[in-house]
Structure 1
Amino acid sequence: MVHAGAAVAAFCTGLSRPPRFNKVAANAVPDLAEARPDIGGGEEESLAEDSDVDSISEWELDFCSRPILDARGKKLWELVVCDSRRQLQFTRFFPNNVINSVTLRDALMYIMDTLGVPKPEKIRFFRSQMQTIITKACKELDIQPVPSQRCVALIKWLEERFETVYSQHPGYQEGASPLLLQQQSLPLDLPDALRGEEWAFVQLPFEAVLEEMEGVVRGDVFGSVLDLGTLNIDLSGDIMIPGVAVASSRATPLAAWTNALELACLEVDTQRSCLVLSTGVADRWRYAFYRKSRQTDAEGEAWEAAKKKCGGLHFLAVQSSLDSELCTGFWLLLDTPISPV
């Protein structure tokens, strides 16, 4: 846990300033060859040699069209699956006439049986338009589908594949827009159960953030972390990570309720004079408000600039008071990366 005020530097703000912080059923291996188009390479199925397969309990998945035309002049679809550390990596192209939950279910079974990985507890996906197909396939395999923007490793991999696979393919359609674009929704009022009593912009040294992450991993506090190795962000030991501290006299239930959400990121909305919390795939909430003035807008802009300096990395902390040395909840967040396809 983080101790004392030296660990935290609060932004200069007219708001409260804290001095511290803190088995799939036994089926035959599905044959995917019948649905497999000849795309001339670019597919992958691998498991890192030093992988601890039992630790791969959550997958990230994308099932969507690509800016590539097949021999029929139709867009190719692709399934991409990995875990947060990319120990597991699997891709498979499909023609557009076999896109359904049965194809996806069979592909998931193929991954488990062929690569020898256990059935995951959860599968995260970031395209809401594919929710019906993904949910049906997962439910048939007794896997929990999780709509989430926290598919960081997956989106980073899609960025790599865009450069090394999609754009190099002879059927690549330059300038083609993604078939399934995610529209940003208007922020809604936050449910009362998720609202704190006080809040403040804060920042923590990177080393202190690592300490808080360790507490989350151990299960000492509510929260969620990210695999920093997948982010490709230069995080030196003395860099300050911006965050938001929320205080509540009911900090434990507040942290528990917050943990039930799939938190993505926080952003300052100077038009509405509030913080906006993004959760799930496309949900946005008016999380906290401030009295609008040039000073408070400038403070919000400074906080956003600090996030940008850290590659979008930031955090949310829930505490019993803004003076507390302990957190009851800590979530490492990242400005949602945009999929290139």
Structure 2
Amino acid sequence: MVPLITKQWQAIGKEPLAPFYLIIGEEAYLHDETIRRIRAKVDSEEWFSFDLEQASIGDVMLEADTMPFFAEQKGILVNNPILFRASTKEKEKDKEKESKKAVDDFIRWIQHPSPSATVVFSAPYEKLDERKKIVKELKKVAVVIEAAPLSEQDQKSWIVSQFRAYDKQPSDELVQWIAASPSGLEFKRNEIQKAALYKGDETNVELVDFQEVAAPVLEDNVFALGEAYFLNQREQALGIYHELLKQKEEPLKLVALLASQLRLLIQVGYYKKLGYHSAQIAGQIKAHPYRVKLMMEHPLADQEQILVSKLKALAEVDMELKSSGMKKERILELYLLEK
């Protein structure tokens, strides 16, 4: 199944640009890639940017209505359209009141857009204020592009397509591993490129190939740290911990991530005892199915008493880190040395 945003990118490449695009969501890569594709169809001399935290809607309208000088079409990127979201700061509310006339003018203006301008509104927010008239009216005339995190299935399709761009075929295990990572798409895209180049003329790419060249991801390193500690592999756990300290990771942050890992393992073990399969558990606890699958196979998944004991000890470490005068790095190190 092709993700909707991929179809929209294809339309941008094949069809004339629309008068308005509205990009909504917090996935930076999808924002940047959409803008890049639109910008590629506009003469560089006729590309303009506005930031609505400094400029006004009126400035955007004036530029759009000004005929392009170097080409038939101009492009206008509008960043931080704060008028499209709920006002959270007093200065935003004051600015909104002051610009009410400009907003009314804008709503009338979008009904008759400039034939020589494409205006792209980049809204890097989780959602807009759907109650606002300006949002309702713009959505009626704009091409709305969701730049939210991809669903699991869409992300898997995207990962495969990224490898295929280099004539590579990733294994199912590798696709699941990358999809389960909390990293953003831009980071994943760069890591996929590294793995593809590393394989040279070979077509198939396995998880071990990817891990050979991939940059360390904090959550994955903490997962490995937890695995080593939970299985009483003290030397390995300390080695990973000291490596994380070299990367300037804070013990308090590591404790929070380890606690999250323990809670996930406890939850998976609980539902496993009830006879749930991995997909059902993932739905219940809102976790990635691949992570759940790994946890279900964990040798301590059925040892709830041991896991709860370790979680309580970790809570004490958290308190000590926040109150003790002892060196923070040493506090967590002592915890990792305990049996």
Q: TM-score if structure 2 supplies the norm length?
A: 0.26
Q: Where is the strand percentage greater, Structure 1 or Structure 2?
A: 1
Q: TM-score if structure 1 supplies the norm length?
A: 0.25
Higher relative contact order (CA 8 A, sep 6+): 1
